[in-house]
Amino acid sequence: MPTLVRKTLRDYRRSVIGWLIGISAFLSLYLSIYPSIRSNPEFYQQAALSKYPGPLKDLMGGLADIASGTGYLQTVVYQLLVPLLLIMFAMTLGTRAIAVPEEEGTLELTMTLPIDRRRLVLERWAAFALGLLAVALVTMVLVLALSAVGDLKVPAGNIVAAHAGLFLIAFFFGTLTLALGAATGKRALALAVGGGYAVGGYVIETLGKSVDAISWLRWVSPFHYYLDGRPVFQGWPVGDYLVLLGATAVLAMTAMLAFERRDVGV
C-alpha cells in the first residue's frame, strides 16, 4: 500500500471509528424494535401512515409495507436515515482529503513528497474510499446479523445488494466534495454544494414520483440510481449501480485535473 494512503488512513482512523460506532448503534437500536412490530403489524402500519401524512410519507419511501421485514428494513436502513448518516461521513472524509489540510496549511508539506499532484489526489481518494468501505462492510455484517436474529426474512443477497448501493451513493457524494475541495480549496463551499445536491436530489427522487412538474429531474438525481431499483425487494440493479460508479469515476478524474492546474501557493 502506498505510503500516502497509509498515512491518510491513520489520519482518518478516529473519524472512521467514531462514525462506525454511531451508525452501528443506530442500526442496533432500530432493528431490535422489529420483533415488536411483527407481533402487531396492523397497529404499527396504521401508526406509521398516520404519523407521516402526505409529502412526508413520500419522503420516507411511502411506508406502504413497513410492517413487513423487507419494508421495515427498506424504510429504517436504506431509505433515508442511514444513507444520510453515511453520506455525511463520506463528505466529511472527502473534505479532509484536500480542502481541510489546505485551509490548515498542512497540504504544502504533503506536496513536498516526490509525487505529482494527480497521484496525490488519487491516493487521498483511495484512502477515503477504503475508510468508507470499512464502515460499509462492518455495518453490512451487522445488518445481516440483526436481520437474522430479528427474523426479518429478507434474503441475504438482497441485503448485500442494498448495502452495495448504500456504499455507492455515499462514495459518489464523498467524491463530489473531494472534487470540489480539490478545485476550490474551500471546505465550507464543498460541504454546502455537496449537501445541497444531496438534499435536493433526494427530494426530487422521492417527490418526483408523484409530482409531474419535477419528475423529469429524477434522472439527474444520484438517488434515482440508488432507490429506483429497490434492491432490498428485487436484488441487484446492476445498470443503476454502474451509472453511480461511472459518475464517481468522472468526479475523481475531475478532482485530479482541477488540482493539477490550480495554484495552491506552493
* Span 196-255, pLDDT tens digits: 999 999 989 888 877 778 888 889 999 999 998 889 999 899 999 999 999 999 999 999
> What was the pLDDT predicted at 64?
64
Rounded average pLDDT per 10-residue block, the chain, 266 residues: 85 93 93 79 57 62 70 87 94 92 81 81 94 96 93 92 96 97 92 95 86 85 92 93 97 93 67
Q: Is 12 exposed, middle or buried (0-12, 13-18, 19+ CB in 10 A)?
A: buried
> What was the pLDDT predicted at 212?
77
> What was the pLDDT predicted at 199?
93
How far apart (Å, rounded) are the C-alpha atoms in residues 121 and 123?
6
Q: What is the pTM of this model?
A: 0.91
> What was the pLDDT predicted at 61?
60
Burial 120-154 (b: 16+ CB within 10 A, else e): bbbbbbbbbbebbebbbeebbebbeebbeebebeb
How far apart (Å, rounded) are the C-alpha atoms in residues 139 and 132?
11
How far apart (Å, rounded) are the C-alpha atoms in residues 235 and 241?
12
> What was the pLDDT predicted at 265?
52
> What was the pLDDT predicted at 266?
47
Q: Are the C-beta atoms of residues 139 and 163 closer than 8 Å to each other?
A: yes
How far apart (Å, rounded) are the C-alpha atoms in residues 88 and 198?
10
Q: Is 71 exposed, middle or buried (0-12, 13-18, 19+ CB in 10 A)?
A: buried
> What was the pLDDT predicted at 57?
59
> What was the pLDDT predicted at 210?
76
> What was the pLDDT predicted at 7?
87
